[in-house]
Amino acid sequence: MTAPPVALVATDLDGTLWDRDGRIHPRTADALAHLRARGVPVLTVTGRRPATAAPLLRANGLTPAASVYLDGALGREGTDGKVFHRSTLDPGTVTELLALCHHHGVEPCVVVDGPDHDLLIGERPSTHPRHLAANAAHVRRCDLAAEAPTLPVLSLVVCGGDPQPLAALAARTTALARTSLTRDTVYGGAALSLRRPGTGKWQAVRAYCARSGLDPAGVLALGDGANDLDLLSEAAVALVPADGDPAALAHATATVAPASRGGWADVLEYLP
């Protein structure tokens, strides 16, 4: 197999690097060690917030060159180091989006770039109670309309919400934000995220390449979900687990075994 020169491996986490329970297969761990020995940097790119992704990375003993969170809204060196990329919503847009949410009977969580309480909620959040309980240590209740526009807002989100009002809201926000409405596989119902237009995993990967003097034409990407499409479509090589989303599989250079079987280790086949 003739492999393109790999300058950077950019990988999704859940269902790609590790399984749905956050476990890394021994084959994958060995491949990560091999990449480290070869000096090939690994960039993790996830829809998770830093507060939920960084502890899992550390628990698995992973030290990526950098980490991209919230589907490209935030990039940090290592897991929680210096910010190299941040895509925030304009204050006026935050105000408009919150007004639209209110009109449709939706009260989102507001994700901000902050060291502790990065998830702001109002009096009647529309997100699932289990989502709030899982993030209790990072939640702060406030007057969203008054406070959120004064902060660096990375996204507005609802997890496990009622699909009907969320769909009506999503149809009204596409001119203001990058809107994603999907089935919530964790909490049931629907998941909605609203981010700055143009925000995406590939945007953040390009920012890291520019900062590090790497050629983006040498990016090998791995992902399994609909939120990975921009990354997979732009990368020189796109590897997708066989149990991935059909939309992701349509962008695959090749499919690999699921994360639970260590399919991630196939990245080694593409090293020169």
Q: Are the beta carbons of 112 and 148 closer than 8 angstroms?
A: yes
Q: What is the pLDDT of residue 162?
A: 97
Which CATH number belongs to the domain containing residue 15 in this structure? 3.40.50.1000
Number of domains in the chain: 2
Split at pLDDT 50, 70, 90, the class of 115 is: confident
Across the range 196-212, mean pLDDT stands at 97
Across the range 118-129, mean pLDDT stands at 97
CA–CA separation, 158 and 230 (whole Å): 22
Q: Is the pLDDT of residue 116 over 80?
A: no
Split at pLDDT 50, 70, 90, the class of 186 is: confident
- Helices of type H across the chain: 26-38, 50-59, 91-103, 129-134, 144-147, 163-173, 201-212, 229-234, 246-249
- Could you give the percent of the chain with pLDDT greater than 90? 93
Q: What is the pLDDT of residues 208-217, one digit of tens each?
A: 999 999 999 9
Query: How many residues are present in the chain?
Result: 272
| Domain assignment of residue 107, yes or no | yes
Q: Which of 63, 97, 104 is nearest to 80 (CA)?
A: 63
- 101 shares a domain with 77: no
pTM of the entire structure? Answer: 0.93
Q: Is the pLDDT of residue 61 over 90?
A: yes
CA–CA separation, 22 and 28 (whole Å): 13
Dihedral Cα 37, 41, 44, 50, nearest 10 deg: 100
| Domain assignment of residue 255, yes or no | yes
> What's the Cα-to-Cα distance from 159 to each of 119, 131, 192, rounded to whole Å?
12, 7, 7
| Domain assignment of residue 2, yes or no | no
Q: Which structure tokens are listed for 73?
A: 């809204």
254-257: which pairs have CB atoms within 8 A and are 24 or more residues apart?
Answer: 256/222
- 71 shares a domain with 50: yes
Split at pLDDT 50, 70, 90, the class of 272 is: confident
CA–CA separation, 148 and 110 (whole Å): 7
Q: What is the pLDDT of residue 94?
A: 98
Q: What is the pLDDT of residue 3?
A: 46
- 257 shares a domain with 227: yes
Q: What is the pLDDT of residue 124?
A: 96
154 or 3: whose pLDDT is higher?
154
Instruction: Provide the domain limits for residue 232.
Output: 8-86+199-270
Across the range 84-103, mean pLDDT stands at 98
Split at pLDDT 50, 70, 90, the class of 179 is: very high
Q: Is the pLDDT of residue 4 over 60?
A: no
Across the range 120-130, mean pLDDT stands at 97
Q: Of the candidates 162, 195, 228, which is a domain's last residue?
A: 195
Split at pLDDT 50, 70, 90, the class of 132 is: very high
Q: Is the pLDDT of residue 128 over 50?
A: yes
Q: Is the pLDDT of residue 178 over 70?
A: yes
Which CATH number belongs to the domain containing residue 114 in this structure? 3.30.1240.10
Give burial (CB, 10 Å; 0-12/13-18/19+) of 117: middle
115 or 22: whose pLDDT is higher?
22
| Domain assignment of residue 162, yes or no | yes
- Could you give the percent of the chain with pLDDT greater than 70? 99
Q: Are the beta carbons of 81 and 38 closer than 8 angstroms?
A: no
| Domain assignment of residue 153, yes or no | yes
Tell me the pLDDT of the chain averaged across its residues.
Answer: 95
Q: Is the pLDDT of residue 1 over 70?
A: no
Q: Is the pLDDT of residue 99 over 70?
A: yes
Q: Cα–chain-centroid distance for residue 140?
A: 22
